[in-house]
Amino acid sequence: MKRRASEEGAKVLVVVSAVSGVTNELQAVCDGHADAAATRARLDALAQRHRAFCADELGLDPDAVLGERLAALRALADDPRRAAGELAWQAEVLAQGELLSSTLGVAYLRSQGLDVGWTDSRDWLQARGLPNQNAWSRHLSASCDYEGDAAQRARFAAAGPALRIAQGFIARAEGGGTAILGRGGSDTSAAYFGALLGARRVEIWTDVPGMFSANPRQVPDARLLTRLDYAEAQEIATTGAKVLHPRCIHPCREARVPLWIRDTTRPDMPGTVIDSSATTIPGVKAISSRRGIVLVSMETIGMWQQVGFLSDVFERFKAHGLSVDLIGSSEANVTVSLDPSDNLVSTNVLDALCADLAQVCKVKVIAPCAAITLVGRGMRSLLHKLSDVWAEFGRERVHLISQSSNDLNLTFVVDEGLAEGMLPRLHALLAQSGAMPVTEAAVFGPSWRHIDHPAAERPAPWWLRQRERVLQAAAAGTPRYLYHLPTVRERARDLAEVPAIDRRFFALKANPHPAVLRTLEAEGFGFECVSLGEIEHLFGVLPALAPDRVLFTPSFAPRREFEAALARGVHVTLDSLAPLQQWPELFAGREIVLRVDPGFGQGHHEKVRTGGKDAKFGLALESVGEFTAAARAAGARIAGLHAHIGSGIHDAQHWHTVYASLAAVAEGIGTVGFIDVGGGLGVAYDPEAEPFDLEAYAAALAEVKAAYPQYALWVEPGRYLVAEAGALLLHVTQVVRKQGQRRVGADGGMNALMRPALYGAWHEITNLTRAGDPPGEPCEVVGPVCESSDVLGRQRRLPDATAEGDVILVGHAGAYGAVMANRYNLRELPQEDVLDD
């Protein structure tokens, strides 16, 4: 710190806390003030502890370093104010921890040859009483002035060496003596000093890497927030995050001093910078929860829209010293939340309040509750992206929804037991829906999971290992897809090792490239086709393929496709009553598969969810009886059940649920021999993210298979087998800077790869030509199509030297890539190539 500061030519004021555990001991001294002997014994023990620390840990002479301070500490036992435990005496007692630790710190650094000064915080921080503040908080939870002036700053600059140590937690009391700052202790002191002295910045060194998008203990995928504005940070701190006490933000905000949270054990991490210049990126920055919330619901008994009702009610909260946080109101009801406070828990203030309120309204208390809050700028403009979040809350009872008037938060109050379990899922939904813009590199740093276990050991992707060959392929012309067949085989073999699975099919719509089909056929896969075109393509590539290895699962297909598929002898799936009712003769004497919609959907985007009332796929569970009767009438036999209700799913429990609900249906039908649980296995598009947990998938399937062993288990993944085996190669056409925004243009965009435009999908984008260069200024990577949605990626840190002719690689493009490419703007379709070693 000293080195960096002197590089910057800055003076450094270090604000220290007490040695660990000491403040609690001093609090015990205050609490036990009446007992003179015990007080003396406690103070002696503390003196002894500091002497030992000084001699043993720091190798210094305790008498020389601490002599005077320890005498002052002991003298507090003889202080005439002790017996009554006067507040001014308690403040003196509590201040001792920081006075001692700062003295030790100065002595130690001097012994190391540094020129260090000792600063008494009470000479700089002046406590100031607030209206309605009681004597206790004036002494023990004081607030300070922090408006500095030039004279004060000059006095500080002249007062000592460039490096100084001061005490956190303490200030000069009004009228002299010592006051304690209370909660937020030394962080608040540092903020006061920063504001008062007009510091270049305030660094808070703590034991976590910074503020996160959720509590990492509850949500391991929570992302480090590297940049916040003051208001967002204040909101996050107030609604649950414990990293920084909300009190310390205000002084820095007023004085425009940046705050920087750093981790003592990980000094290389970027930490969290809180300042006013942060580019305002709208979006949810964090989700937090607070427990112990009490809701008070009040119904008017008087007239509708009774004048003065609110003031009657709020006066009573004030009289009981309770401050209201959230408010929801209608014409006849007001519901408010109370934050947990010592006051609320330890006394019967709530009973007294209710008795009082009962004079003016009907009261109901709902507790314990938890408040789940989404924090971020521009909350109101995000509502359309929150549909998944609303849906998640829709499953539970929400007592109150509140949206702050500063447009910074949206809070849901639910039963306390629910909150913690909901957070990981809500966090994932926010990230997936784009409401939490986790790809904004200026704000979102690495995930806690990544910080805790760096992914550095993961092998480099195939396209980096074979960079020269990939560049050669690009030289033959772009846009061009390249598929790495060994990676396809690797994924195929991973799946082959899941014991519960009896038969595997590849959903060929993900990637029908002939080399991919041959590779998977050789690995023992069958194929799932959704159109006659796919069936014909498949048999064109693999003429000898047994029809039993092919499933036909169309959606709203015409009669002739069913006829042709039946003639081929492949497994035909029906997903509504219509084909049986319109063309019963087609299915006479045939085995058919029934695609069921179990009534819920899942997936990485609403456009890939294929279950539930609003999805066009599958027969509703309630119509299974009717279908069975129609099949019997037509002379068809239901040999299998099928469900595929979403794509890009990471929660292994999903397939367990699907299999279990299909097995229940199968028992009612009687003729079913196999259950096909579809595909949908997720893929980690972001190299930082955890790969799909195949072990959990295998375990979930094994469990449900054990429960219903009579059915064969079939699966039909697409994406999982081919996504990471494919890359899209492009050339840079132009690099343009417009009003500060750098744009890298490529010779293929939404015409070559639709997923970003269609689903808001995120793909890794690399400048392969300059693979070794450090990340540059964030840029947008755009294609050549005349549509504003022709953006492949935003906020990408392509190297600053990126220039025309460089090869850009879009990763994980092997699934739903080339097959969705189109000729819009009459651009040529991308080429396709394979690498087979």
Ligand X SMILES: *Cc1c(COP(=O)(O)O)cnc(C)c1O
Active site residues: 786
d(CA 332, CA 313): 13
What is the number of H-type helices and E-type strands within the chain?
Answer: 28, 34
Cis peptide before 368 (omega within 30 of 0): yes
d(CA 187, CA 410): 27
Q: Does 576 bind ligand X (CB under 6 A)?
A: no
245 vs 650, beta carbon nearer ligand X = 650
Among 534, 561, 716, 806, binds ligand X (CB under 6 A): 716
Among 210, 717, 756, 784, binds ligand X (CB under 6 A): 717
Judged by DSSP in three states, 697 sits in helix
510 vs 538, beta carbon nearer ligand X = 510
Q: Does 258 bind ligand X (CB under 6 A)?
A: no
> What radius of gyration, in Å, describes the C-alpha atoms of the chain?
33
Strands 741-746 and 333-338: unpaired
| Identity of the residue numbered 96 | Q
DSSP at 127: B
d(CA 28, CA 23): 9
d(CA 295, CA 369): 7
| Residue 231 and residue 406 in contact, taking contact as beta carbons nearer than 8 Å | yes
89 vs 483, beta carbon nearer ligand X = 483
Per DSSP (E only), the strands in 153-271 are 163-167, 170-172, 178-180, 202-206, 223-225, 227-228, 259-263
Q: Which residues contact 336 (CB under 8 A, 6 or more apart)?
A: 295, 296, 298, 317, 324, 325, 326, 327, 328
* Shortest separation between residue 710's beta carbon and ligand X, angstroms: 23
Q: Does 39 bind ligand X (CB under 6 A)?
A: no
> 529-568: which residues touch ligand X (CB under 6 A)?
530, 553
**Region near ligand X per CB under 6 A, out of 377-385, 503-511, 563-571, 736-744:** 503-511
> Which residue bears the tokens 């990544």?
450
DSSP string of 470-536, one letter each residue:
HHHHHHT-SSEEEEEHHHHHHHHHHHHT-TT--EEEEEGGG---HHHHHHHHHTT-EEEESSHHHHH
Residue 171 β-bridge partners: 179
* Shortest separation between residue 815's beta carbon and ligand X, angstroms: 6
Binding mask 643-662 for ligand X (x = CB under 6 A): -x--x---------------
* Shortest separation between residue 593's beta carbon and ligand X, angstroms: 11
- Which phi and psi (to 5°) does residue 81 adopt? -80, -10
433 vs 647, beta carbon nearer ligand X = 647
**Region near ligand X per CB under 6 A, out of 219-227, 328-336, 715-723, 774-782:** 715-723
> 319-358: which residues touch ligand X (CB under 6 A)?
none
* Shortest separation between residue 822's beta carbon and ligand X, angstroms: 18
294 vs 698, beta carbon nearer ligand X = 698
- Which phi and psi (to 5°) does residue 336 adopt? -130, 160
Q: Does 618 bind ligand X (CB under 6 A)?
A: no
549 vs 644, beta carbon nearer ligand X = 644
53 vs 506, beta carbon nearer ligand X = 506
* Shortest separation between residue 146's beta carbon and ligand X, angstroms: 56
d(CA 407, CA 208): 28
d(CA 71, CA 65): 12
**Region near ligand X per CB under 6 A, out of 46-54, 233-241, 714-722, 769-777:** 714-722
Binding mask 671-700 for ligand X (x = CB under 6 A): -------xxxx-------------------
Q: Does 507 bind ligand X (CB under 6 A)?
A: yes
> 770-829: which residues touch ligand X (CB under 6 A)?
815
**Region near ligand X per CB under 6 A, out of 53-61, 241-249, 367-375, 505-513:** 505-513
d(CA 82, CA 268): 47
* Shortest separation between residue 517's beta carbon and ligand X, angstroms: 15
* Shortest separation between residue 513's beta carbon and ligand X, angstroms: 15
Query: Cβ–Cβ contacts within 10 Å for residue 396, how many?
Result: 14
Joined together, the tokens standing for residue 679 give: 């595909």
* Shortest separation between residue 727's beta carbon and ligand X, angstroms: 18
82 vs 719, beta carbon nearer ligand X = 719
467 vs 719, beta carbon nearer ligand X = 719
DSSP at 547: G
Q: Does 184 bind ligand X (CB under 6 A)?
A: no
Q: Binders of ligand X: how many residues, by CB under 6 A? A: 18
* Shortest separation between residue 472's beta carbon and ligand X, angstroms: 30
Residues that bind ligand X (CB under 6 A): 507, 509-510, 528, 530, 553, 644, 647, 678-681, 716-720, 815
